[in-house]
Structure 1
Amino acid sequence: MIPLREIDLLGVFVSPALICLAVALILSLILRRLLDKTDINRFVWNRALFDLSLLIVMTALFILSLRFGGT
């Protein structure tokens, strides 16, 4: 297991979870556009809830991949 430590960005310590959240936000925006173009969203009941859950799941997967990726 790799310990999650703060990252120093120009003298400011940033949590790795915040960086994972930013990456997940960018990827979820891309995925949302892709789902709009393929018209898969017509199967989604509540679009805002689906987008939020997608962001949370992607963030959790990135954090877990940082935590357990080294083994």
Structure 2
Amino acid sequence: MTDETKRTLRTILQTAVALAVALPAIVEASGIPASLPWAAGALAVAGGLARVMALPAVQNLLPGWLRTDNRGRP
């Protein structure tokens, strides 16, 4: 895998996690009721993704260049 591909994949993953973290604020700011089924589902998935990505076990499974801790980084 080329360095450019790795950077692209890392950026996509980081963007997805950032959106997952920001989604509750986006829903609140937009005035959409969080109790709507699609909004509640999206918030649940976003929260779950953010929690799972923060688990040490998941961090250990990720290649070094995708980890958010300092292990495996140059």
The structure with the largest helix share of the pair is 2
The structure with the largest strand share of the pair is 1
Structure-2-length-normalised TM-score: 0.35
Structure-1-length-normalised TM-score: 0.36
Taking CA–CA contacts closer than 8 Å with sequence separation of 6 or more, which of the two structures ends up with the larger relative contact order? 1
